[in-house]
Amino acid sequence: MPSTAVTAAPAAPGLFAPRLRAMTVGSVALISLLAFEALAVGTAMPTVARSLDGLALYGIAFGGPFATGVLAMVVSGIWCDARGPKGPMWHGVAWFVVGLLIAGTAPVMSALVVGRVVQGFGSGLLSVALYVIVGQAYPQDLHRRIFAAFAAAWVVPSLVGPAVAGLIVQHLGWRWVFLAVPAVAVPAGLLIHPGLRSLGRSAATSPPTGAAARIGWACGAAVSAALLHIGGQQRGATALVLVAFAVVGLLVCAPRLLPAGFLRAARGLPTVVGLRGLASAAFVGSEVVIPLMLSRERGLSPTAAGLVLTVGALAWSAGSWLQGRIPVPASRASLPRAGLSCITVGTATVALAVRPELPVAVAVAGWAIAGLGMGLLYPPLSVLTLELSAPGEQGRNSSSLQLSDSLFAATVLALTGAVLAAGSAPGPASYTTTLVVTAGLALLGALLAGRVVVDGGVRQAG
């Protein structure tokens, strides 16, 4: 009996299809390196400050790169829209690597700060350029999956980065925390290069109207961000003054760097950008409190308290994987709403763990739910940002998304530090206050999530 041959339909190209394989590996590697450096430096810096007798510059060693990163995000967005992402990507790699080399060979703390500032500028250029590369190089149906890979590239260093950095400091010396990374960053950039050559040049040939003013506002936001970061590490009146000046500066400058209608949660992109900031503030504000609360109120060791954060990171990774493989929801608001609802429930559940009669497992479960929510939320917001951007706006809008993330998180961290330092010592009231506020931020986001949809669906901006 003759057999009937059935020809399978060709599989849709994936992230590791021949055309995209090298770019995917290189992009994810660069994101991982940015994440590793952001986390590893915190582990190494106490040793660095002692070695270089630089405790007086400890705050600026963190605030400086954060500020230049804010400025670089804006510059990169303008650059990408005017000339395409190739220039910002290569300059980002160069500034990042040069900054690491300066920091790793620094003879004094002031030189290390210079290296950190240069490194931060490179990180800001890279982070925005990679988003624009996704928008131009990957088909739209792969956007959720590549952004899920980016999320995993941040989560994995959060699990192993501090431990690896500690081993490097202990056995090789703190300088190798900086000097080892360029050996991976340069090859990762070279992997992206062939794919960059296939990208078309931007239709624009000069910076968009208002670019100079935007950079000026970015400088103001960068200075305010540095003051906020430094103030968050101080105590007493000094902290209050620095944080107050910083918050005022951000309130003046930041809205001019974010989409019009951001403050009133206008439909579409303004709400997408706002939700990213609210989610980041809710999660980071809770994350900084949890180890302290569990150690002081529930008697957990630092290692055990840290493992609770690890559970949240693993759940974040699981949520990212899940959202990349489920069918696209009927409404683009579904995943952001689900994610923010999980963060709301999760942080509120963690707040209950302040009560001694409840088991610590309540906090673990709550933080897992919050982490799952972040995984469900972050990639879809990145996808929506590209979908709502005309080709000449992808850089600006990607920079707005990341600025919202960074500035909201930094503001909440500084204010959380002020709340925890308000009394003679942190206690149940301060922990509960912080966690209730962060849950409220997430709840606000969940209530606003339906506003990511424009006119019943997603449409291109411009």
- The first and second tokens of residue 283, run together, are 């999660």
Nearest alpha carbon to residue 104 among 53, 163, 44: 44
Residue 93: both structure tokens together: 């790699």
pTM > 0.75: yes or no: yes
Q: Do the Cβ atoms of 252 and 383 come closer than 8 Å?
A: no
Give the pLDDT score at 1. Answer: 39
Count Cβ atoms within 10 A of the Cβ of residue 115 and give its class: 0-12 exposed, 13-18 middle, 19 or more buried.
buried
> Among residues 107, 104, 92, which one has the least CA distance to residue 41?
104
Q: Which residue has the tokens 């992206």?
A: 192
User: Alpha-carbon distance 148 to 150, whole Å?
Assistant: 5
Per-residue pLDDT tens digits of the chain, which is 462 residues long: 344 444 443 444 687 777 888 888 999 999 988 888 877 777 787 788 888 887 777 777 877 888 888 899 999 999 988 888 888 999 999 999 999 999 999 899 889 989 999 999 999 999 999 999 988 888 888 888 888 888 888 877 777 777 777 788 878 888 888 888 888 889 998 988 887 777 755 555 566 677 888 889 889 888 888 887 777 666 667 777 887 888 888 888 888 889 988 888 899 899 999 999 999 999 988 888 888 888 777 777 767 777 788 888 889 989 998 888 888 777 788 899 999 999 999 999 998 888 888 888 888 899 999 999 999 999 999 999 998 988 788 888 999 999 998 888 888 877 777 676 665 566 778 888 889 999 999 999 999 999 988 765 554 443
